[in-house]
């Protein structure tokens, strides 16, 4: 791996591009404490997770506008009730014109309800499990969501975590471009080796600055390219 650029240089470049420190500060994402994340119910987590699955590849506004209908159709995303749906009821929801007609993403709600329920059984609380996962191996949590859940690979799992306030970096187009251009990652970003290299970069920047992963990720994206968020 190539030598890391000083983060102060990245920050300075972001400030120059965005109008100064105050402007950059306003663009930084919010995160929640472990105690705050622990307060989420399984239903709240399943709802946010399902919304992120549907927003992947869709116009986010369309999904947002339809979400009240999803809350009704899936019993406010109570995992136990979702898992009581029959195959015929799931199919009816997948073809319902008031929802989004997508069989696989609709089935993912059910599959992820099972995952949430299983994680709660194994760890006492899915929210607690997420809340106390260490930030220096956040890609490990991404992998668990991808392996145990449905349609949570790529950036969908990380976006879900960001949505509930968990501190995580995002592999936006600009962040990927920066890491590649500076030869900090020599593997694909979907490979274990590529994710491990990426985590190492963010860990070193976190030790160097004391910033959160989400803040580091955003500042890097603001310092280069087209600022794809």
Q: What dihedral do alpha carbons 23, 24, 25, 30 form, nearest 10°?
A: 120
Tell which of 111, 141, 163 closes a domain. Answer: 163
- For residue 182, the model assigns a pLDDT of 96
- Do 188 and 143 lie in one domain? The reply is no
Question: What range does the domain containing 183 cover?
Answer: 7-31+169-223
Q: Is residue 1 part of a domain?
A: no
- For residue 134, the model assigns a pLDDT of 98
- Do 86 and 114 lie in one domain? The reply is yes
3-state SS assignment for residue 175: helix
- Do 98 and 145 lie in one domain? The reply is yes
- Do 87 and 62 lie in one domain? The reply is yes
- Do 101 and 127 lie in one domain? The reply is yes
Which tens digits make up the pLDDT trace of 176-192?
A: 999 999 999 999 999 99
Average pLDDT value for residue range 57-81: 97
- For residue 1, the model assigns a pLDDT of 67
- pLDDT-based confidence at residue 229 (cuts at 50, 70, 90): very low
H helix or E strand, kind and range, residue 71: helix 60-73
Which residues fall within 8 angstroms of residue 25, CB to CB, at 6 or more apart?
none
Mean pLDDT computed over every residue of the chain: 96
Q: pTM for the whole thing?
A: 0.95
- Do 175 and 158 lie in one domain? The reply is no
Q: Is residue 228 part of a domain?
A: no
- Do 215 and 102 lie in one domain? The reply is no
- Reply yes or no on whether the pLDDT at 94 is more than 80: yes
- Do 46 and 136 lie in one domain? The reply is yes
């Amino acid at each position: 791996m190539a030598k890391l650029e000083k983060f102060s240089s990245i920050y300075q470049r972001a400030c120059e591009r965005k109008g100064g420190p105050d402007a950059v500060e306003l663009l930084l994402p919010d995160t929640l404490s472990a105690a705050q994340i622990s307060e989420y119910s399984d239903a709240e987590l399943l709802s946010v997770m399902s919304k992120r699955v549907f927003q992947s590849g869709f116009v986010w506004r369309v999904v947002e506008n339809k979400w009240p209908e999803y809350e009704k159709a899936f019993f406010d995303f109570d995992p136990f009730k979702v898992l009581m749906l029959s195959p015929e009821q799931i199919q009816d929801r997948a073809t319902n014109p008031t929802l989004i007609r997508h069989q696989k993403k609709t089935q993912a709600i059910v599959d992820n309800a099972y995952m949430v329920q299983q994680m709660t059984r194994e760890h006492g609380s899915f929210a607690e499990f997420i809340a106390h996962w260490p930030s220096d191996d956040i890609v490990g949590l991404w992998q668990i969501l991808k392996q145990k859940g449905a349609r949570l690979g790529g950036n969908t799992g990380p976006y879900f975590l960001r949505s509930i306030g968990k501190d995580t970096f995002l592999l936006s187009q600009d962040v990927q471009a920066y890491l590649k251009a500076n030869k900090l990652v020599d593997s694909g970003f979907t490979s274990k080796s590529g994710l491990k290299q990426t985590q190492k970069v963010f860990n070193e920047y976190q030790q160097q600055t004391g910033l959160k992963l989400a803040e580091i990720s955003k500042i890097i994206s603001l310092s280069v390219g087209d600022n794809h968020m």
